[in-house]
């Protein structure tokens, strides 16, 4: 087969970016039979795309790089139905991004990561709501199969009128870099880099309303942990900027190689998100041996299983109480929770994701 994949979204340094990078890399590692034609479009961040394409270039890949950014793709593909990316390619299948779906005679697969724009429209910019709404409508109309990254997302799609048989759940996974970092000198160096001296609590994620950082900070402040700061890693996305209080450190964007150390050294990882299609940080923290507190909503219980403490993310007192419980665990119970997290994270792997995705490609191409 000749398989086309839209990789335009890798430039954004988000969960969707991680999904695209890891999926493509592991498809190439696990598949020696098919050829991959990689489409990418960007106006301003073409260096990132070029670097990635150079990194994964093999005899079984080819690519097309255009100036058609995802926003322009939304206009030309979703709204005007022109300039389909595979017009000069004889593809067996095209895997569209979560942003735009071209109208094409080629078999179509698309991934839908979440329906946040419908569940929490007040926390998204109007343009993004309209763009993702267009994508959802086109996925329902044109896609031969939709990949949902969790059972929670599949349920949300069914509630939008998409037939269950059209949806296949294929879980994402933590990247292989996420594993316990045991070198004391490396841990100390990473902590020093971000101004962290002693024990600390950690949260990771793009700063946006859905991440529920306001309640997290309020819950933290009620604990009055004078010698244990709350470190929040993640670039600013949208909404009101997070206002730190005494004891809260905003680390901004942190690269994966440093995140490994921050997860490994933290006393607890707290992720009280209001909604996630797939919460990468939960599994990343578990894979690094950090005990996790997360929400009892959306996909998060699917990921955490029996290895996390769960809270109602809309109740600040729940978050406060969970932190108290976790910090109060004796050494044996803490290690038991950590070991459960390590085992839980091992159930997810990108090789498995790639193999299941390739199987889906083959099924769709043969239909």
| 334 and 358 housed in the same domain | no
Strands 268-271 and 292-295: parallel
Least confident of 25-34, 37-46, 107-116, 319-328: 37-46
Helix-, strand-, coil-residue percentages of the chain, each rounded to 5: 45, 15, 35
* pLDDT tens, position by position, 272-315: 999 999 999 999 999 999 999 999 999 999 999 999 999 999 99
Residue 102 lies in a domain: yes
Instruction: Please determine, for residue 189, whether its predicted confidence score (pLDDT) is greater than 80.
Output: yes
Angle at 180 between CA 19 and CA 352, to 5 degrees: 35
| 335 and 358 housed in the same domain | no
Average predicted confidence (pLDDT) for the chain: 92
| 191 and 165 housed in the same domain | no
Residue 179 lies in a domain: no
pLDDT for position 99: 79
Give phi and psi for 329, each to the nearest 5.
-65, 140
Contacts (Cβ under 8 Å, ≥6 apart) of 336: none
* Confidence category of residue 333, pLDDT binned at 50, 70, 90: very high
* pLDDT tens, position by position, 49-98: 999 999 999 999 999 998 888 788 888 887 887 777 766 578 999 999 88
| 62 and 135 housed in the same domain | yes
| 106 and 168 housed in the same domain | yes
Residue 125 lies in a domain: yes
Tokens (6 digits) for 115: 């329906």
Q: How many whole angstroms separate alpha carbon 270 and alpha carbon 225?
A: 15
Residue 178 lies in a domain: no
Residue 314 lies in a domain: yes
For the purposes of burial, counting CB atoms within 10 Å of the CB of 224, is it exposed (0-12), middle (13-18) or buried (19 or more)? exposed
Residue 47 lies in a domain: yes
List the one residue out of 240, 252, 267, 261 whose CA is nearest residue 205. 252
Q: How many whole angstroms separate alpha carbon 80 and alpha carbon 331?
A: 61
Residue 334 lies in a domain: yes
* pLDDT tens, position by position, 200-225: 999 998 787 788 999 999 999 999 88
Instruction: Please determine, for residue 123, whether its predicted confidence score (pLDDT) is greater than 60.
Output: yes
| 331 and 197 housed in the same domain | yes
3-state class (DSSP) for residue 229: coil
Q: What is the CATH number of the domain that holds 23?
A: 3.40.50.2000
Looking at the 3D structure of the chain, how many domains does it have? 2
| 155 and 295 housed in the same domain | no
Q: How many whole angstroms separate alpha carbon 334 and alpha carbon 65?
A: 49
| 155 and 27 housed in the same domain | yes
Angstrom CA distances, 137 to 164, 206, 354, stand at: 16, 27, 26
Q: How many whole angstroms separate alpha carbon 366 and alpha carbon 92?
A: 9
| 168 and 317 housed in the same domain | no
Residue 316 lies in a domain: yes
Helix 213-223 with 316-327: angle, nearest 10 deg: 50
Range of the domain at 206: 184-345
* Cut 0.85: pTM above it: yes
| 24 and 156 housed in the same domain | yes
| 322 and 201 housed in the same domain | yes
Q: How many whole angstroms separate alpha carbon 297 and alpha carbon 152?
A: 9
| 23 and 64 housed in the same domain | yes
List the one residue out of 140, 138, 70 whose CA is nearest residue 101. 138
């Amino acid at each position: 087969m000749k398989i086309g994949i839209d990789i335009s979204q890798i430039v954004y340094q988000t969960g969707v970016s991680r999904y695209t990078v890891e999926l493509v890399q592991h498809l190439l590692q696990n598949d020696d039979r098919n050829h991959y034609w990689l489409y990418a479009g960007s106006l301003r961040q073409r260096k990132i795309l070029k670097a990635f394409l150079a990194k994964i270039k093999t005899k079984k890949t080819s690519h097309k790089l255009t100036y058609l950014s995802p926003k322009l793709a939304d206009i030309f593909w979703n709204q005007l139905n022109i300039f389909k990316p595979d017009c000069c390619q004889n593809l067996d299948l095209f895997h569209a991004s979560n942003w735009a779906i071209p109208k094409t005679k080629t078999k179509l697969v698309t991934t839908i990561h979440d329906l946040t724009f419908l569940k929490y429209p007040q926390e998204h910019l109007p343009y993004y709501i309209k763009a993702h709404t267009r994508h959802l409508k086109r996925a329902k109309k044109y896609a031969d199969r939709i990949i949902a990254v969790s059972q929670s997302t599949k349920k949300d799609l069914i509630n939008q009128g998409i037939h269950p048989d059209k949806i296949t759940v294929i879980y994402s996974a933590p990247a292989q870099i996420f594993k316990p970092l045991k070198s004391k000198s490396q841990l100390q160096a990473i902590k020093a880099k971000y101004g962290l001296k002693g024990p600390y609590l950690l949260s990771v994620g793009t700063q946006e309303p859905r991440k529920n950082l306001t309640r997290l900070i309020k819950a933290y402040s009620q604990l009055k942990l004078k010698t244990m700061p709350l470190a929040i890693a993640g670039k600013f996305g949208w909404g009101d900027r997070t206002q730190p209080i005494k004891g809260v450190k905003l680390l901004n964007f942190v690269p994966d190689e440093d995140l490994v150390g921050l997860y490994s050294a933290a006393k607890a990882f707290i992720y009280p998100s209001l909604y996630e299609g797939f919460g990468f940080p939960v599994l990343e923290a578990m894979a690094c041996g950090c005990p996790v507190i997360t929400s009892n909503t959306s996909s998060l219980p699917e990921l955490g299983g029996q290895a996390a403490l769960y809270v109602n993310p809309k109740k600040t007192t729940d978050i406060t109480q969970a932190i108290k419980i976790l910090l109060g665990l004796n050494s044996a119970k803490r290690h038991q929770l950590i070991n459960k997290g390590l085992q839980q994270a091992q159930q997810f792997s990108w090789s498995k994701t790639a193999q299941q995705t390739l199987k889906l490609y083959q099924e769709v191409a043969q239909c």
